[in-house]
């Protein structure tokens, strides 16, 4: 890999026909990295899209002009997952460039779920895990409404990604690695010419991706995420990791082990807390994510919800391992250690 050098204000030439493009986001993290890859013969592939918001679209179009990609040259979108910063501008790519969409089918299922899930089911889900919600609240906005400004997903998938398949795109070969956890259909892509591992949100260098349990969603996503980390750590031929947030780095195995250790530590912490008395996910989250439960309730409202969803994921994995069991009182789920819980 050549030493990265700036090709302009918002792009970096990573060498061998791979460019990193920085696109703005409206909240933390404030930047997403998408990647443009020269396939040869005037064709290019893009890993992830940025949001559909105007600042992101304008920055992307300027980057394409700077790199010299013709309008008809953006032939392929390799989408790691469906979230708005990764897939939100996919409809625009199809409309403006005729780009073909490569996406795992589980992500299309999740997009459909976001349109279909009832707000009442979401309210019931969080109530049952102890979040105090006034009784008059009966409904919640659908995720697609919350994301509306930045989320314009392509209506169709041209190629459904499958774990382990080899995509021959121009002069490149990409290996698809299905890494569920952050989302059910999250995929990483290993490009064999450069050894670049495009990881989306799966293997971020400084932060951990959100792993949460939502109404109607997978019940053990953290178990999936840890298994996916072990899977990615076993990959050979990786020369550098290209994440969606944070800088390029080289040791994918070390980072995968760090992420596994982080979640194992958090689960031990939660289990120790529950040894004192049974607790709801909301109560456990208050202990584990103290900062979001201090100060202005409105300021931390979103983060509190996310913290509880993450806590459910940790508690559900502990239950799957036999360390916890659930009991229900007054329509609220409480967790308590089993007699065989690890020490």
Say which CATH number the domain at 97 has.
3.60.15.10
205, 230, 260 - which closes a domain: 260
Bridge partners, 337 (sequence order): 324
The tens digit of pLDDT for each residue in 8-58 reads: 448 999 999 999 999 999 988 999 999 999 999 999 999 999 999 999 999
Residue 273's pLDDT is what? 97
Q: Is residue 77 part of a domain?
A: yes
* C-alpha to C-alpha distance for 324 and 337, rounded to whole angstroms: 4
Residues 27 and 84 in one domain: yes
- Of all residues in the chain, the percent with pLDDT exceeding 70 is 97
* C-alpha to C-alpha distance for 211 and 243, rounded to whole angstroms: 17
Residues 241 and 290 in one domain: no
For every residue of 86-124, DSSP letters joined together read HHTTHHHHHHHH-PEEEE-HHHHHHHHHHHH--HHHHHH
Q: How many folded domains does the chain comprise?
A: 2
Q: Which residue is associated with the tokens 């930047």?
A: 31
Residue 300's pLDDT is what? 76
* Backbone dihedral region for residue 259 (phi beyond 0: left; psi -120 to 50: alpha; all else: beta): alpha
The tens digit of pLDDT for each residue in 313-334 reads: 999 999 999 999 999 999 999 9
Residues 93 and 171 in one domain: yes
* C-alpha to C-alpha distance for 132 and 293, rounded to whole angstroms: 13
* C-alpha to C-alpha distance for 3 and 324, rounded to whole angstroms: 49
Residues 175 and 35 in one domain: yes
- Domain enclosing residue 332, as ranges: 278-337
- Give the residue among 197, 223, 221 at the shortest CA–CA distance from 210: 221
Residues 209 and 308 in one domain: no
* C-alpha to C-alpha distance for 135 and 1, rounded to whole angstroms: 58
Residues 300 and 245 in one domain: no
8 A C-beta contact, residue 22 and residue 53: no
Q: Is residue 138 part of a domain?
A: no
Q: Is residue 342 part of a domain?
A: no
Query: How distant is the alpha carbon of residue 59 from its chain centre?
Result: 22
Specify the pairing of strand 240-243 against strand 196-200: parallel
pLDDT(195) > 70: yes
Q: Is residue 272 part of a domain?
A: no
- Give the residue among 239, 204, 266, 243 at the shortest CA–CA distance from 22: 243
- Give the residue among 81, 282, 313 at the shortest CA–CA distance from 214: 313
Residues 218 and 94 in one domain: yes
Q: Is residue 137 part of a domain?
A: no
Residues 151 and 222 in one domain: yes
Q: Which residue is associated with the tokens 């800088």?
A: 247
Residues 332 and 227 in one domain: no
Burial readout 177-203 (b: 16 or more C-beta within 10 A, e: otherwise): bbbbbbbbbbbbbbbeebbbbbbbbbb
Residues 149 and 297 in one domain: no
The tens digit of pLDDT for each residue in 206-234 reads: 999 999 999 988 999 999 999 999 999 99
Confidence of residue 2 (pLDDT cuts 50, 70, 90): very low
What does the pLDDT average to over 136-162?
A: 87
Residues 294 and 151 in one domain: no
């Amino acid at each position: 890999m050549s030493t990265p050098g700036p090709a302009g204000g918002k792009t970096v030439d990573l060498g061998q026909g791979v460019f990193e493009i920085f696109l703005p986001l409206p909240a933390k993290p404030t930047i997403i990295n998408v990647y443009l890859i020269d396939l040869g013969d005037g064709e290019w592939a893009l890993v992830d899209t940025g949001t559909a918001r105007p600042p992101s679209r304008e920055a992307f179009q300027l980057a394409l002009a700077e790199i010299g990609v013709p309008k008809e040259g953006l032939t392929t979108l390799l989408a790691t997952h469906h979230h708005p910063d990764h897939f939100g501008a996919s409809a625009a790519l199809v409309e403006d460039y005729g780009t073909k969409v490569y996406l795992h089918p589980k992500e299309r299922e999740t997009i459909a779920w976001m349109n279909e899930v009832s707000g009442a089911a979401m309210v019931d889900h969080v109530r049952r895990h102890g979040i105090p919600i006034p009784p008059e609240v009966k409904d919640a906005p659908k995720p697609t409404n919350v994301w509306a400004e930045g989320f314009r997903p392509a209506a169709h998938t041209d190629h459904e990604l499958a774990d382990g398949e080899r995509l021959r795109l121009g002069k490149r070969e990409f290996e698809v690695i299905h890494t569920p956890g952050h989302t059910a259909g999250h995929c990483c892509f290993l490009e064999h010419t450069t050894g670049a591992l495009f990881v989306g949100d799966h293997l971020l260098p400084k932060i951990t991706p959100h792993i949460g349990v939502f109404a109607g969603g997978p019940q053990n996503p953290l178990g999936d995420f840890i298994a996916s980390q072990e899977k990615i750590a076993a990959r050979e031929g990786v020369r550098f990791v290209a994440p969606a947030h944070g800088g390029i780095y080289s040791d994918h195995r070390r980072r995968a082990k760090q992420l596994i250790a982080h979640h194992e530590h958090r689960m031990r912490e939660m289990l120790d807390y529950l040894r004192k008395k049974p607790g709801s996910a909301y109560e456990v989250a208050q202990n584990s994510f103290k900062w979001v439960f201090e100060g202005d309730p409105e300021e931390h409202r979103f983060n509190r919800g996310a913290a509880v969803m993450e806590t459910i994921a940790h508690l559900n994995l502990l239950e799957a391992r036999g360390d916890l069991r659930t009991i229900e009182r007054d329509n609220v789920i409480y967790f308590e250690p089993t007699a065989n819980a690890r020490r």
